[in-house]
Structure 1
Amino acid sequence: MLQVNDLSKVYKGGFFSKDKLTAVESVSFQIKKGDCFGIIGESGSGKTTIGKIVAGLLKPTSGELYIDGKNILKNSEMKTSNFRRRVQMIFQEPDGVMDPRWKIERSMMEPLDIHFSLNRNQKIEKVNYWLETVGLTPEHLERYPFELSGGQLQRLAFARALSMEPDLIIADEPTSSLDVSVQAQILTLMKKIQKRYELTILFITHDLYVARQMCSEIAVMQNGRFVETGSAEGVFDHPQEKYTQMLIDSQLPLDFSVRKKLEYTGECYDGKFCRNYCK
């Protein structure tokens, strides 16, 4: 369904600087229809950059990106309305999705007005269906974003993405800003809906427990590169790279008496931008 070949993103330095920052370097992966592919790693490793490139929000420096066999980086395919409907992104901060000046109904209706030829009754029926699917009711449409909780807003963001009937959903840390109890509810909901509708998901997270619950395939990212890929079971139970093992070991119990200092002594791809523990 999704094929990414040798994808790279390099940011140029400022006006007076010749330095360059490589955010993503030669990344390749594929996601089959109906699968959930996870990218895990620390903040700043390049995970979100990949998500934004796939969503058409960033232009890559080089590489190829295919959806259903079509290279969408050519012929301005990413700028078309059809592409924006087919690829939806769920962001970390749910309150940034809904316009604070509008009632929820208007925010839910707007993308339907853009991408579908439906009358008002058909749009209301479609919105209500997806609200019910994510555990909300039509009464929520009459509220403003500030009247809803973070969990409710994330459910609405999920419902709005689903209403576009997308081929691919990119979920970028969709639960990291929520309380732990709410996180569990949202993840259970996403997993249930993903299986029910055979959704294809690119799931980006720093939380290994979340990745293991949601994803069938995992890529471990460090300093812009994939250092390990494989099935979720294989990566977590039998890691092949020291960096992967370090990430797993970092997810320790909250009891500080059993914690220890973690040191990474493996290969560092870019010492200039690498953190101290990689040196």
Structure 2
Amino acid sequence: MDTLALALLAFFAAGWFVLAGADIGTGMLTPYLGRTDHERRLVITSFAPFFLGNEVWLIATAGVLAGCFPELEGALLAGQFPVLLPLLAGWIVRDLGLWTRGRGPGRRWRALCDGAVTAGSWAVALATGWLLAALLTGRPYEPASGPGAVLVAVAVAALFAAHGLGFATLRLTGPAYERARRLVGRARRPWHSFALTAVLLGGLPLVTGSALAPGSQAADSGTLVLLVPALLVVTVPLVAVQAWIWHTFRHRVTGPSYL
């Protein structure tokens, strides 16, 4: 059961990095991809159908961590609070910008919400990199510091942005698409860039896990016997719904949504 619990933790964490990394990265680059109010709305429309479903993977990761690895979860909450706070704040600010963009008066309001989406996305990406900088050292009980932590945080944020660019080339049209392609390059297959960054982002939690060795901090066998089968049952519809969403909205964006 320890191995299954560890596999579930890795699966959900990698899933969040790959799937949510697309909307976070695109949100980070909204001012570059969308120069006008209409173009920014199209950029947001490109990831609007996905972001809520993608966030479920982070919630699932936290649930597996709390239920199956309570010691590690406690160390993270206590030691990484200065990192988790901006991560959660950025998450909330970004979602507020997305939900309220089409519900306020005028262009200035929409510009303010677009700024919230961009700032929140950068905060999530940088805070995630800062968190990984600490976990890669095997010290979850204290935030990382120094030039190394800054370098890791910036590198992870840049990887999120590159992932968002790859996603944008698959979903956008018109001038926003051309701007994304300008940075991604003229690869023969548009999905090549997205696939490469997906592999790199998905590997981040796996490398982090090898540094932390969470298997040694798993809950007792009785708890795992109860939790792991239930988590496996929940995983099947989660993956099925996620696959349906990505299949349904696989086409390029040609018009704005309700956001």
- Would the TM-score normalized by the shorter structure come out above 0.5? no
Higher relative contact order (CA 8 A, sep 6+): 2
What's the TM-score, normalizing by structure 2? 0.31
TM score, norm. by length of structure 1 = 0.29
Larger radius of gyration: 1
